[in-house]
Each structure stands twice: as C-alpha cells, then as structure tokens.
C-alpha cells in the first residue's frame, strides 16, 4: 500500500510542476472574471427604446390581457428567470376600428341605421386621427422617463375609467362588445 502512495505522490508532483497545469491554474480565475465583467457590460447595454404595438381586437377581450402582460414585462417581471428592469419597454395601443365595426353590426341588427351612418362617416375616420394626435403629443411632451411614466399612469387611469363605463353600458345594452377608445 505504501508503494501506491509513493507512486501517487510522484504522479501528483509531476502533474503540478507541468507548465500546462500552472498556466491553466492561473488562467481560470482570469477567464471567469472576464466572463462576469463581459456579462455586466452586455446587461447595461440593453435596448431601452419604447416599442409601440398596435392591437386590433375584434373580440374586445384580447387587449386587456395583452396590456397586463406588457405592463408586467415593463416592470421587469418575466416568465423565466429573475426580475429584470432592463430591456425594451412596450406600450399597446388599442385600435378601435374592429370594435366599432362590431358595434355598427349590432346597431344595424337592431335597426339603428342612423348610428351606423354616423360611425361610418365621422367616428371611424376620426379614430385614426386621434391615434396619430396622441402619438405626436407623447413624442413632443413625454421626453423623459419620468414624464413617460406619468403619461403612462394617466393613460392607464383614463382607460380604467373608460373600460368600467363601457362595461356597464355594454351590460345594460346586452352586448359583449361595445365601442370606445
């Protein structure tokens, strides 16, 4: 048994004294350290630009869950991994064309041709103009992250109030889809 230890000791000393072993021992901390530094540098260079996503929701039921998911993403809550504040930010814009079309169909079925005419001639063409005006105002006045956050909070509150009012009106009219911004 003593001979086994003598041979093992000799092999160990030979391996430790080898140039490759010494270089590897010295390079490992440097490689690991540089990998950590590189990861931190890349994390700080995350794309923070605001990305606008238009949602055409013909059912009136898709926009709210998508908006909630986008807000969770913007807060850094991801499906996998730790909470991360960096990364692109998303804002959703509800395009009411399809919702309005559903409402016009509802009105048409109930014999309200005048409401359908008003929507076709005035409201639908105006919808796009309102969206473009909102984009221009945000681009002009919401120029800092603080102002963008304040605008986002104000819009969220207005949409919350409008959604509650729209839901109540739709319930009174007996329809699941009701127009509104």
Q: What is this structure's pTM? A: 0.36
Across the chain, the runs of DSSP E, i.e. the strands, are 50-56, 89-95
User: pLDDT digits over 130-157, tens only?
Assistant: 777 877 887 888 888 888 888 878 877 8
Taking the C-alpha atoms of residue 37 and residue 112, their distance in angstroms, rounded to an integer, is 67
Q: What are phi and psi of 88, to 5 degrees?
A: -65, 150
Domain boundaries defined on the chain: 2-43, 47-173
Please give the biggest Cα pair distance in the chain.
105
Question: Quick check: helix, strand or coil at residue 52?
Answer: strand
User: pLDDT digits over 37-66, tens only?
Assistant: 888 777 666 666 667 676 766 566 777 788
The pLDDT > 90 percentage for the chain reads 6
pLDDT of residue 31 exceeding 80: yes
Cα 160 to Cα 5, 31, 46, 169, 180, distances in angstroms: 77, 52, 31, 14, 12
Taking alpha carbons only, the member of 130, 134, 70 closest to residue 97 is: 130
């Amino acid at each position: 048994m003593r001979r086994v230890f003598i041979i093992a000791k000799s092999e160990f000393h030979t391996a430790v004294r080898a140039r490759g072993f010494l270089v590897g021992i010295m390079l490992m901390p440097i490689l690991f350290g540089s990998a950590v530094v590189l990861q931190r540098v890349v994390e700080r260079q995350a794309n923070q630009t605001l990305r606008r996503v238009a949602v055409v929701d013909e059912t009136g039921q898709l926009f709210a869950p998508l908006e909630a998911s986008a807000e969770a993403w913007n807060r850094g809550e991801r499906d996998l991994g730790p909470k991360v504040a960096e990364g692109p930010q998303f804002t959703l814009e509800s395009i009411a064309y399809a919702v309005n079309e559903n409402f016009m169909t509802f009105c048409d079925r109930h014999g309200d041709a005048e409401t359908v005419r008003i929507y076709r001639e005035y409201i639908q063409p105006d919808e796009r103009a309102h969206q473009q005006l909102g984009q221009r105002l945000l681009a002009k006045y919401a120029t800092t992250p603080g102002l963008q956050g304040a605008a986002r909070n104000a819009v969220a509150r207005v949409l919350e109030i409008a959604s509650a009012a729209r839901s109540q009106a739709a319930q009174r009219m007996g329809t699941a889809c009701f127009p509104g911004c």
